[in-house]
Copies of this chain bind each other. A is one copy, B any other.
Amino acid sequence: MYIVILAGGSGTRFWPLSRKSTPKQLMSVFGGKSMLQRTVERVIPMRPKRVMVITNALQAAETRNQLAYIEGVPVDVIEEPVGRNTAPAIGLAASMIARFDPDGIMAVLPADHYIVDEETFRKTLDAARSVAEGGSLVTLGITPTRPETGYGYIEAASAGVGTPAAVLRFVEKPNVERALEFLATGRFYWNSGMFVWGACTILDQIASFMPELSAALAKLTFESEMWELSDLKPQIAEIYGDIKGESIDFGVMEKAQDVQVIPASFGWSDVGSWSALPEVMEADGDGHVVINAKGTVSVGSNGCLAYGNDKMVAFVGVQDLVVVDTPDAVLVCAKSAAQDVKKVVEELERLGKNELL
């Protein structure tokens, strides 16, 4: 299997840790290795044929730097000149794989998701590969554990743990009433944005539903030497001028006929904001989650997240806060307002404080 990692995101909801040149996937959000490094390491035991990391020009150097230590599996870092959402990136990777390995199966994984049970994750990917070898488009659907309104949902034709089911439809983020209805059926899953399919299968589907993208991808010519990315770079730059941005969900998945969902329960979060970390990380005796700090002291406090910049963090009489300390900025945020961190970034842009972006 080929692993295609989508690593071009530039989220603003992890400011001040994430910046334009070092977005969430390149940062040590959980302490230690970056999310991208964790994503790559997670698949290494599967012995993939290649790991293809698709990123943008601004982040390419740091991406290469972070992955230089990976051994045993070839890692390609592919630069997009501009971000064009997921469909062009996936089409580009599929074109490269199909050129050299027409039967190749590819797994598409976001670089910035958190997975608790990595062994179960790999088993799920293996199961998805078996289904994909039959010619289906396969998506990993996370068995919901709460009526989450921050995720899209997938409705399957039938319920069943671990067994693939036909996808009836993709549903946008629901309100809480609808989310509760979804959970009651047992046939709805969170849309994880993780896919498995044959490279030629997805290219056929792109040809059917996204003819402009297909035509642009068809212009790519490959040298006889395999995986020579330096030859590819100017070609990518040229075709990206014509490509319009589109997600693979909207461009293909919602229109294709043979889409299967593999129900997955490996503990998952898309880590959409600071408040997502306490959901997947273990809290200390005071209910605080503490990352990269030199210890904490808690007096009459609980439920906080501290990202410590290698410092002691002391809480006194506070609850449910997010505190992030970086060398040039400090964020103090109510957990319930974590989505509003992007408003800080907007304000910094308005103020022209580029050094903090």
Contacts and interface: CB of A to CB of B under 8 A. Distances in A.
B330 A311 contact: yes
Given A344-B297, A353-B295, A333 B317 contact: yes
Given A318-B321, A347-B297, A311 B329 contact: yes
Interface stretch (A108-116, A168-176, A334-342): A334-342
A337 B304 contact: no
Contact of A331 (B314, B333, B344): B314
Contacts of A330: 306, 308-309, 311-314, 323, 325, 330
A24 B308 CA distance: 24
- Contact residues on A (Cβ < 8 Å of other chain), bracket: 35 or more
Contacts of A177: none
A201 to B, nearest CB: 44
Given A334-B317, A341-B316, A344-B316, A328 B311 contact: yes
Interface string A286-327: 000000001101011000101011011111111001010111
A123 interface: no
Contacts of A308: 330
Nearest to A321: B332
A198 interface: no
A61 interface: no
A16 B308 CA distance: 14
Contacts of A334: 316-318
B312 A329 contact: yes
A317 to B, nearest CB: 3
A343 interface: yes
Interface of A: 15-16, 294-295, 297, 299-300, 304, 306, 308-309, 311-318, 321, 323, 325-334, 336-338, 340-341, 343-344, 347-348, 351, 353, 356
